[in-house]
Structure 1
Amino acid sequence: MRIGTPGFVPARLTEARAARRIPSMTELARMLGVTSSKVSRWESGEHSPEPDALTDLARELRVRREFFLRPVFDSTRPFFHRKLASASKRDRTYQHAQVNWLNEVSSIAQHYVDLPELDIPDLMTSTHFKQLRDSDIEGFAMSLREHWGLGDGPCIDVVGLLERVGCVVSSIEMGTSKLDGVCSWSEIDQRPHILLANDKMSLPRRQMDAAHELGHAILHKNVTESELKSDLKEIERQAFRFASAFLMPETSYIRDLPNFSLAGMLTVKERWRVSIKAQISRLRSLGLIDSDDATRMYKTYSAKGWSRVEPLDREWKLPQPQLLKDAFQLIVDSGTRTKEDLLAVEFTLHRGDIENLANLPSGWFLKDPSPVIELALRKTHDKPAAGGMTGQIISFSNRPDKD
């Protein structure tokens, strides 16, 4: 009688298949050399795989066998995907699985390291997102700037700011231009977990994406899954309005802008680190240009080829999250756990996935830290010559003249 594998968690199989972008149970069955109905019964929980089949699953999905015996690090709260409407289900489930894995990596880091205390004030209190006016959103953005001591000038490293106030941030290649980022409040540690895309990214776009996800964390913490589906357009608009207000405060940004032209926006881009396209949208939302002006600007913008890459974008290094990277480096450097221990005991994920999500260098788990060699002064040594230096002067002959 076959009893399968006791403790097998079917949702982990679904999650791993999504994380590997395997489009269907049929495709996974083909990879394993089994019937699709067998994989279907595993994912539904009707049956569990035999030990040999579990080994095959772990090999094909590049996880440890124990991966399938631990619970999913999931959240019942909605996931706020940028460009959700145009992204495929396969891309969204991939991103969802990666956020779950980010939760897992973060949770293990927090076994040993205290991350910064969460410092995100509850600005919404009992307000429902449908009750928000644009003036409320503008006010929230300025309140946060004041709370964090940012003043009204440029905020040129939103990723670093998010980590300082206790958010868990990661950035990975999404493999598609349809996904920019995702945010979800973790029920494990009650922190926002934010995953950003590295695909075709520039610093201004990274700034806007990070601020956009912060907007979701502030404005939409208590949104339900059904509300997300029915009011997606308005939820996304609110997050973008918050991000624009946070990055370009009305008074100070406008004060810096010499005129309402593309040339004027390019002038202030270097200081404010926001894209020209985002500036056009900001001026339109503030009523400083009308829809016809904005349309003309977008057409000129496109004609200049700026839809592909804007001026200055290639001159700026893309800021990367550091919090998890520093946490794992501290764990190892302090001798609390070795890299081998972490992989063999704590993690069930492949080392490459951990390195990717924690922004660790590729191969970090394979590289041993350089041994520290202690040196001692020799007990006997020659006295230094006058002036504290020793040595022999060697005279060089003059170089022969060339013919």
Structure 2
Amino acid sequence: MSRKKIFNGKRLKAARTYRGKTIDVLAKEANINKKDILAFEEDKYKPVVENELKISNTLNFPREYFFQHDDIKVIVESTHIRPESPIPRVEEISYKEKLVMTHRVVSVIEEYIKFPEMKIADDLSKYDDMEELATKVRRNWGLGDGPIGNMLSLLESNGIIVSGLNVDKRGALSFTQKQSVERNSRYLVSLGNDKKSATIRNYDLAYELGYIVSTEIGMSSKNFSKDEFACAFLLPKETFFEDLANVNEINDYVELKKKWIAPISAMILRAYQLEVINYKKYMYLMREMEKQGWLKKEPLDENIKATSPALLKKSVEMLIDNKVMTREGLVETVADSGISLYAEDIEMLLGLKEGMLSPKVNNKKNNVTKVNFKNRK
């Protein structure tokens, strides 16, 4: 028996949060009394059809979305947003909601394609020092002691989903959520506005990996230096120590940056951590960076370009190329799972090219044949 279609107040709150709107803003834009909107969200009473349409149009969600229920329940176990984030609180909440929505859509795709299983390291301990933690993760991921050219692909290949939904948002910083669906946990990382620089992106993702490691060992994020972990992970002690032998002045670090694909500021901090330079030298180098304007924009940042998240994009391309479903069929399949979204939102959440899923003029519903790709490599 099909469930009777009743307006779902929780969906209204989720959609409003997703769009980064307060109740006051939505009330003004939709021309609905804010007390009524609050009542709708709390399911005290239901909106009339006219108000349903106003809400749908203002929030740019299909009307069907507000009558659906969460067949895919995502539980947010923890969230890490940097305290220095300049983003207004309402936008932060919006980002969180979009990352939850991303996981819901991913869960639909996972019915067809098996993503890499998440693995960090099973021998981590809160009693390990930072060098040990960084080394254990490197060893578990089959890395040597050299530079990591692409942190993004490294995380994706080890079961961590990376989203680029905030890359073009001015002031946005990277952040991470640990989410679970049916008790299966997964980490999702949202990139910040890193100017698409490989060096900045590598460091930001190593920083977020530090948060993930702290969560895995059961240590409070406040008591765990993500900066120290990022430096230890990107710049292994033995090999980086050797490269510092001929480095003295600030310009020497520019050459080193080409090899290690890491920010100069991080390399200077690492040199201090390894006691290659003393505190006086460290402060001198940082003042030199400030004088040259490198604290805001380092040399080579624009020259060493970062790659974009590929895991979600390639999974969709695989479904379409193998004729598992059409572009329009993917949108319908997501809707059938209880998540009616417009194509442009799915494109944004999955990092797809704009217009890739936009429906063509076709009144016939696409018949989707389900194929199990879980054993496909």
Q: What range describes the TM-score normalised by the shorter chain of this pair?
A: 0.7 to 0.9
The aligned residue for residue 256 of structure 1 is 243
The aligned amino acid for 2:235 is M
1:234 aligned onto 2:223: yes
The aligned residue for residue 18 of structure 2 is 19
Matches of 1:252 and 1:10, distance apart in 2 = 57
Superposition map of 1:184-333 within 5 A: 184-188=177-181, 189-221=184-216, 233-235=222-224, 237=225, 239-257=226-244, 258-333=246-321
The aligned residue for residue 141 of structure 1 is 134
The aligned amino acid for 2:119 is D
99-108 or 82-91: bigger deviation? 82-91
Matches of 1:281 and 1:44, distance apart in 2 = 50
Residue 155 of structure 1, CA deviation: 0.6
Residue 234 of structure 1, CA deviation: 2.8
Residue 73 of structure 1, CA deviation: 4.8
Residue 344 of structure 1, CA deviation: 2.7
Deviations 1:246-274 (A, max 9, x none): 10011111211222432221121001000
Q: What is the number of residues matched between the two proteins?
A: 348
Matches of 2:93 and 2:104, distance apart in 1 = 17
> Secondary structure, in 3 states, of the residue corresponding to 1:11?
helix
Matches of 2:261 and 2:42, distance apart in 1 = 48
Matches of 2:239 and 2:187, distance apart in 1 = 29
Matches of 2:25 and 2:168, distance apart in 1 = 19
Matches of 1:261 and 1:160, distance apart in 2 = 33
Paired residues of 2:198 and 2:301 also in contact (CA < 8 A):
yes
The aligned amino acid for 1:96 is K
> Secondary structure, in 3 states, of the residue corresponding to 1:190?
strand
Deviations 1:353-402 (A, max 9, x none): 2212212111111388xxxxxxxxxxxxxxxxxxxxxxxxxxxxxxxxxx
The 1:175–1:153 alpha-carbon spacing in structure 2 relative to 1, beyond 3 Å, is closer
Deviations 1:80-114 (A, max 9, x none): 11345654312321221121121122112112111
Residue 39 of structure 1, CA deviation: 0.9
Residue 47 of structure 1, CA deviation: 2.7
Matches of 2:39 and 2:284, distance apart in 1 = 57
Paired residues of 2:167 and 2:195 also in contact (CA < 8 A):
no
Superposition map of 1:2-401 within 5 A: 6-22=5-21, 24-68=22-66, 69-71=68-70, 73-83=73-83, 86-124=86-124, 127=126, 132=127, 136-173=129-166, 178-188=171-181, 189-221=184-216, 233-235=222-224, 237=225, 239-257=226-244, 258-347=246-335, 348-366=340-358
Matches of 1:232 and 1:157, distance apart in 2 = 25
Deviations 1:66-90 (A, max 9, x none): 3232327542411111345654312
Matches of 2:141 and 2:217, distance apart in 1 = 23
The aligned amino acid for 1:339 is R
Paired residues of 2:124 and 2:136 also in contact (CA < 8 A):
no
The 1:47–1:273 alpha-carbon spacing in structure 2 relative to 1, beyond 3 Å, is same
- What is the TM-score normalised by the length of structure 1? 0.79
Matches of 2:122 and 2:196, distance apart in 1 = 31
The CA RMSD over aligned residues, in Å, is 2.4
Matches of 2:84 and 2:296, distance apart in 1 = 21
The aligned amino acid for 1:19 is Y
Matches of 2:321 and 2:85, distance apart in 1 = 44
- Amino-acid identity (%): 26
Paired residues of 1:95 and 1:174 also in contact (CA < 8 A):
no
Residue 20 of structure 1, CA deviation: 1.7
The aligned amino acid for 2:210 is G
The aligned residue for residue 385 of structure 1 is none
- What is the TM-score normalised by the length of structure 2? 0.84
